[in-house]
Amino acid sequence: MSRNSLSRSPRSAASVAAALIVASSLALLRAQTTAETRVPPRSSGTPVLVELFTSEGCSSCPPADALLARLQREQPVAAADIIGLEEHVDYWESLGWHDRFSSHQFTARQSQYAQVLHLDGNYTPQMVVDGADQFVGNDSAHALSAIARAARAPKLVMSVSTLKQPLDNDHVSAMVSIPSAAGSARADLYAALVESKASTQVTGGENGGHTLNHVSVVRLMTKIGTSDQAVNWLAFSLPVPTDASIPNLRVVVFAQRADQGAVVGAASCASRPPADR
């Protein structure tokens, strides 16, 4: 089926909605902290970053949300460690429902992918695998093949750790190390604070009357440096949103070529060392 038959573009959102209404530094940090906990990868596979651009206001999105959840839960590609990021765009906000996870930052990130991947514009749901392959977000066959291809690509070996610290629910402190970055082409480093699971009872818009379940909801994403700065350890801190479920938070760090190119490495860990949880 064509992309247009399975997905929704912001330009057509209003008209479609109307139709549906009708039809329905390391040393310093070590001095400041008492210990650190390094969390190994969740599997022996190659980390593959799967981004889903979605919205609670889009009736085509729940099946894609469910697919991302299944990919993370089942890890169906033997060679891959699938790391998901659910990024809620904001161009559905005027159509009857406010998505509490939406941010213009994610709309802008999706727009940059549209330019890099030579698309006409944004649409939901959209999956992007390792910044290189995009497709309608509920296309499970394409997702599996794209993830398998991405798992065969050379990647930077990354390790991310959260730091033991005095109890602070306002920030998450962590470090990332990429020893293999020495001598490699520089990549931008991004850190995302991710809520592992969340649900919303939607009372308006296209999904009104339904409870939507989410995984790996990105609450914050920021550039923290470049890969060459993390050959040893690069420290960073992320503010925690006041409405976040702290026990459900994880940290995802990924390396991406300049101008939002290919993702060349990724890693994740819990937002608190075990002793702090």
Quick one: pLDDT at residue 14?
44
Taking the C-alpha atoms of residue 20 and residue 18, their distance in angstroms, rounded to an integer, is 5
Surface-to-core class of residue 233, CB atoms within 10 Å of its CB (0-12 exposed, 13-18 middle, 19+ buried): buried
Asked if 250 and 232 count as a contact pair (C-beta separation under 8 A), the reply is no
Domains of the chain in start order, with CATH, are 25-276 (3.40.30.10)
Quick one: pLDDT at residue 69?
98
Taking the C-alpha atoms of residue 203 and residue 272, their distance in angstroms, rounded to an integer, is 34
Omega cis (within 30) before 239? no
Of 238, 230, 126, 225, residue with least CA distance to 192: 238
Q: Work out the number of other CB atoms within 10 angstroms of the CB of residue 3.
A: 15
Quick one: pLDDT at residue 163?
84
> Are β-strands 46-54 and 80-88 bridged in parallel, bridged antiparallel, or unpaired?
parallel
Encode the chain (277 residues) as per-residue pLDDT tens digits.
334 435 666 545 444 443 333 333 334 333 333 333 333 345 579 999 999 999 999 999 999 999 999 999 999 999 999 999 999 999 999 999 999 999 999 999 999 999 999 999 999 999 999 999 999 999 999 999 999 999 999 999 999 999 866 456 789 999 999 998 988 899 999 999 999 999 999 999 999 999 999 999 999 999 999 999 999 999 999 999 999 988 899 999 999 999 999 999 999 999 876 555 5
Taking the C-alpha atoms of residue 220 and residue 98, their distance in angstroms, rounded to an integer, is 18
Asked if 80 and 46 count as a contact pair (C-beta separation under 8 A), the reply is yes
Quick one: pLDDT at residue 130?
98
